[in-house]
Chains A and B, each alone.
Chain A
Amino acid sequence: MGDLKENAAKPILELRDIGKRYGAVEVLRNIDFKLYPGEVHALMGENGAGKSTLSKIISGVIKKSQGAMYVNSESYEPENTDDAKAHGISIVHQEFNLIPVLSVATNIFLGKEYRKGGILDERRHQAQAKELLEQLGLDIPVGIKVRELSIAQQQMVEIAKCLSDGSQIIIMDEPSATLTLNETKQLFKIIESLRNKGVAFIYISHKMDEIFQISQKITVLRDGNEIGSFPTEDMTEDKLVGLMVGRQISSMYNHENYTQAETVLKVSNLKAGKTVKDVSFSLKKGEVLGFGGLVGAGRSELMKMLFGELAFETGEIELFGNKMNRPVIKKMIEAGFIYLTENRKEEGLILTKTIKENITLSVMKKMLKGGLISNAKEVEIADRMVKELDIRLNNINQRMTELSGGNQQKVVIAKWLATNPRILVLDEPTRGIDVGAKHEIYQVINRLCKQGMSIIIISSEMPELIGMCDRVIIMAEGKITGELSGEEITEENIMAKAVLRGYSIA
């Protein structure tokens, strides 16, 4: 480790006065940044603060407009991502660059295949891939197709791929967004071991607890400006949030229990093969009921079954006292039961259409006047929802793509609130959303249950379950393994019930 200390004095990557402008719009200005070997350096900021732009400049996706970059004190001007890789810099995206139908080994050596007399040397690929994964402490078979791996395992393969490129600097953009707590722990173990070998990480995440756990230094960006770089040990969560949003957020959740006596939903003995095994639960008026567990525990599937999107074998559903034994999406919406998907972009919105069209899509019937769509009615309802949820936009005829993640999520909520629901199932409601918008969505939830709406939150974020829920049901492998309420809702209690014995991720 002696060498490492000596090197530590010299940054592996240095940025001086980096700026980026698109036409007249300046999205980054005067960024100075130093990354040392063996360091995990967190990049924090709200959406649109410039984190992604900066990481794209470093990884050669886009070019800077001004300033200078140095890798190991030598001038670094990447032409493209390949050039960046040649300088030892890789980026692991939220969406992986793996090809699902190809094997793990083939993916790792994609674009840098070994050949033997013109024929691909599969044996060598497999052997080296195996070695690489073993170095990372992973037990993933190299011959199986990537699509058969869990998301966490895919991410590990992606990291292995970066290492096989000889990367010394790995940029990770929201790596844990789709990981469960356990999988994140595994990821951190790997980061830690690579860090000890001198690999440096630039780590972008919205999850505070992770940042404090894994990083040594934090650089905060706001509106394209660098607010400052701080050692993680000198930072507190409140201070960091304050720096990011530029104002003080008093309390993230502010949740009060508004649970009433009336039962609005009763599910009995719901069964569907291996995904949902004999599940029974009930929901009260005004209650916020959390569903905790690992990814793949069957929580989303269960809710999709209630919503009529997935089929189930047997079981009874009682909605507001009425039996609903073969739910159909349209009927469930009319009955006031709404499922808000975790895949906002793929299943929740039509990105190529306008904000107005997205909000009115599920209430088209109410938009008609003499059989034709009334623009006035559409504008009225869209304006009302935009105001109610404080969606930040220029006008309601903007395309969805022009909005930030947080505002897109608010549009999804707006779309469903327009149907006057009585039960709202929110699947990962704040995934990939910045702190400010998160806070606002929690306050919307509070307002709704105060008005008597019942809410189910499926979440992989512990603080969210602990901060927002009156009661939490925990699922594992399709079964309900426990129920917690009030003070019992703690990270330890949830994890204890979420992980079945003998379960490991890799």
Chain B
Amino acid sequence: MKETSKKIKQMISGLGVLWILFLLMIALSFLTEQFMTVNNMLNVSRQVVVTAVLGIGVTFVIITGGIDLSVGSVLAVTAIISAMIVNQTGSAALAFAAAIASGMLIGAAQGFIITRFHVAPFAITLGGMSIFRGVSLLLTNGIPISNMPSQYRWPGAGTIYIGTIAIPVPVIILIFLAVIVAVLLNKTRIGRYIFAIGSNENTARLSGIHVNKYKIITYMISGLCCAIAGILLTGRINSASPSAGDGYEMDAIAAAVIGGTSMAGGEGTISGTIIGALIIQVIQNGLNLMQINAFWQNVAVGAIIIVAIVADGIRIQMMKRKNN
């Protein structure tokens, strides 16, 4: 009896944020008729992809106890690089490769500086955020690049029909990415080491783990995710703008935190981050549909972040108390 009730409790706490998402969706389907329509759901799923992909990258960094504020700017710069290349050469493959390479390179550079000089990730990626926004503006002279070829736009804008259901390609890409990184995080040495570093860096180092190397890897994963998000966003809106992704770091970090990634490091899941991104997206979408002043969206998302962080704080306190 006790064992099962414990298990149920664990399940409920494991599903924590999923309940919030369910409740939100149920509430919204009563509040507005358009919400639970196939069209709107597809719309939400297309929109959530960018936040979710960025959130996945940031989750890796936060698990090691770091933070990446530069994701919005890196998204812009990688998107612009790839858009310029595809418009010059006509090769989408080359453009994608360039975006991914530059994203990972930027991540590696930031990670290297952070680990080599023992400086605060917050400060370095804050600097990165400004630098790469500036580079984006410099590269484009402030003018968005548009009219990309259709094969370039396909990952972000395409659809695949399964029977009669039209599934957006970016959603499929997100699912693929999520599965791969979830395996990476939970079933490989890299993942285990990343959790170890975030939980107790000293123990990790004294266990023979090359702490700096794995921290740099997380920033590279974050950079990779920025590039993927950039490609998907550019494809969807058919424009690589120097202001693209402005403020997205907020949503990405919020998705991770709402999804249960601990800012203190050592905890986090990919599924949690995706659910976190969905919650943010559903709130924004719902408020739009109800024609509530868009400014309220900021308030609502902010409130949910605070609730999630306070819940995390209470959880840590309770754990500490239990240990005493």
Interface of A toward B, CB cutoff 8 Å: 307, 309, 329-330, 332-334, 339, 341, 343, 346-353, 357, 361-362, 364-365, 367-368, 371-373, 401, 415
- In the assembled complex, which residues on chain B have CB atoms less than 8 Å from the CB atom of A362? 207-208
With an 8 A cutoff between CB atoms, is B205 at the interface?
yes
CA distance A362 to B183 in the complex (A): 20
- Contact across chains for A350 and B192 when beta carbons are under 8 A apart: no
**Given contacts A330-B210, A351-B200, A364-B192, are A373 and B187 in contact (CB under 8 A)?**
yes
Closest to B262 in A: A352
Interface of B toward A, CB cutoff 8 Å: 183, 187-189, 192-193, 195-196, 199-200, 202-210, 266-267, 319, 322-323
A66 to chain B, nearest CB (A): 21
Which of A309, A339, A350 contacts B200 (CB under 8 A)? A350
CA distance A182 to B266 in the complex (A): 40
CA distance A47 to B192 in the complex (A): 31
Which of B192, B206, B210, B266 contacts A347 (CB under 8 A)? B206
- Contact across chains for A353 and B206 when beta carbons are under 8 A apart: no
- Contact across chains for A372 and B187 when beta carbons are under 8 A apart: yes
**Given contacts A346-B200, A351-B200, A352-B199, are A357 and B192 in contact (CB under 8 A)?**
yes
- In the assembled complex, which residues on chain A have CB atoms less than 8 Å from the CB atom of B189? 364-365, 367-368, 373
- Top 8 A-B pairs, shortest CB-CB distance: A330-B208, A372-B187, A347-B202, A333-B208, A362-B207, A401-B323, A350-B199, A350-B200
CA distance A348 to B183 in the complex (A): 27
CA distance A415 to B322 in the complex (A): 25
11 contacts between A and B (CB under 8 A): A329-B205, A329-B206, A347-B206, A350-B266, A353-B196, A361-B192, A361-B207, A371-B188, A372-B187, A373-B188, A373-B192
- In the assembled complex, which residues on chain A have CB atoms less than 8 Å from the CB atom of B319? 352, 401
**Given contacts A372-B188, A373-B188, are A350 and B196 in contact (CB under 8 A)?**
yes
- In the assembled complex, which residues on chain A have CB atoms less than 8 Å from the CB atom of B210? 330
A448 to chain B, nearest CB (A): 20
A343 to chain B, nearest CB (A): 8
- Contact across chains for B187 and A341 when beta carbons are under 8 A apart: no
- Contact across chains for B200 and A349 when beta carbons are under 8 A apart: yes
- Contact across chains for A352 and B266 when beta carbons are under 8 A apart: yes
CA distance A339 to B204 in the complex (A): 13
- Contact across chains for B206 and A341 when beta carbons are under 8 A apart: yes
A394 to chain B, nearest CB (A): 12
CA distance A349 to B200 in the complex (A): 8
B188 to chain A, nearest CB (A): 6
Closest to B210 in A: A330
- Contact across chains for A350 and B203 when beta carbons are under 8 A apart: yes
- In the assembled complex, which residues on chain B have CB atoms less than 8 Å from the CB atom of A341? 206
- In the assembled complex, which residues on chain B have CB atoms less than 8 Å from the CB atom of A343? 202
Closest to B197 in A: A350
**Given contacts A352-B266, A373-B187, are A309 and B205 in contact (CB under 8 A)?**
yes
- A-B interface contact total, Cβ < 8 Å: 73
- Contact across chains for B199 and A329 when beta carbons are under 8 A apart: no
- In the assembled complex, which residues on chain A have CB atoms less than 8 Å from the CB atom of B322? 401
Closest to A341 in B: B206
A293 to chain B, nearest CB (A): 22
- Contact across chains for A349 and B188 when beta carbons are under 8 A apart: no
- In the assembled complex, which residues on chain B have CB atoms less than 8 Å from the CB atom of A339? 206
- Contact across chains for A348 and B206 when beta carbons are under 8 A apart: yes
A173 to chain B, nearest CB (A): 13
**Given contacts A372-B188, A373-B187, are A349 and B206 in contact (CB under 8 A)?**
no
B198 to chain A, nearest CB (A): 9
**Given contacts A349-B200, A350-B199, are A372 and B183 in contact (CB under 8 A)?**
yes
- In the assembled complex, which residues on chain A have CB atoms less than 8 Å from the CB atom of B202? 343, 346-347
- In the assembled complex, which residues on chain A have CB atoms less than 8 Å from the CB atom of B207? 333, 361-362, 415
- In the assembled complex, which residues on chain B have CB atoms less than 8 Å from the CB atom of A373? 187-189, 192
- In the assembled complex, which residues on chain A have CB atoms less than 8 Å from the CB atom of B205? 309, 329
- Contact across chains for A364 and B199 when beta carbons are under 8 A apart: no
Q: Which of B187, B192, B204, B207 has the most CB of A within 10 A?
A: B207
CA distance A309 to B206 in the complex (A): 7
CA distance A307 to B207 in the complex (A): 11
- In the assembled complex, which residues on chain A have CB atoms less than 8 Å from the CB atom of B200? 346-347, 349-352
Closest to A332 in B: B208
A431 to chain B, nearest CB (A): 17
- In the assembled complex, which residues on chain B have CB atoms less than 8 Å from the CB atom of A329? 205-206, 208
CA distance A362 to B193 in the complex (A): 10
- Contact across chains for A353 and B195 when beta carbons are under 8 A apart: yes
CA distance A207 to B193 in the complex (A): 38
B310 to chain A, nearest CB (A): 20
CA distance A352 to B183 in the complex (A): 21
CA distance A362 to B199 in the complex (A): 15
Closest to B205 in A: A329
- In the assembled complex, which residues on chain A have CB atoms less than 8 Å from the CB atom of B188? 371-373
- In the assembled complex, which residues on chain A have CB atoms less than 8 Å from the CB atom of B209? 330, 361
- In the assembled complex, which residues on chain B have CB atoms less than 8 Å from the CB atom of A350? 196, 199-200, 203-204, 266
B259 to chain A, nearest CB (A): 18
CA distance A371 to B189 in the complex (A): 8
- Known: A330-B210, A334-B208, A401-B319; 9 extra A-B contacts, CB below 8 A, are A329-B206, A330-B208, A330-B209, A346-B202, A346-B203, A350-B204, A361-B192, A361-B209, A362-B207
CA distance A341 to B206 in the complex (A): 9
- In the assembled complex, which residues on chain A have CB atoms less than 8 Å from the CB atom of B267? 352
A393 to chain B, nearest CB (A): 16
CA distance A372 to B209 in the complex (A): 18
- In the assembled complex, which residues on chain B have CB atoms less than 8 Å from the CB atom of A361? 192, 196, 203-204, 207, 209
Q: Which of B192, B196, B206, B322 has the most CB of A within 10 A?
A: B206
Closest to B206 in A: A347
Closest to A378 in B: B192
CA distance A297 to B210 in the complex (A): 29
- In the assembled complex, which residues on chain B have CB atoms less than 8 Å from the CB atom of A309? 205-206
- In the assembled complex, which residues on chain B have CB atoms less than 8 Å from the CB atom of A371? 188
Closest to A56 in B: B324
A334 to chain B, nearest CB (A): 8
B193 to chain A, nearest CB (A): 7
A226 to chain B, nearest CB (A): 22
CA distance A376 to B39 in the complex (A): 45
- In the assembled complex, which residues on chain A have CB atoms less than 8 Å from the CB atom of B187? 372-373
B202 to chain A, nearest CB (A): 4
**Given contacts A309-B205, A309-B206, A371-B188, are A353 and B323 in contact (CB under 8 A)?**
no
A453 to chain B, nearest CB (A): 19
Q: Which of B195, B200, B208 has the most CB of A within 10 A?
A: B208
A409 to chain B, nearest CB (A): 14
A390 to chain B, nearest CB (A): 23
CA distance A234 to B205 in the complex (A): 49
- In the assembled complex, which residues on chain B have CB atoms less than 8 Å from the CB atom of A364? 189, 192-193
CA distance A415 to B207 in the complex (A): 9
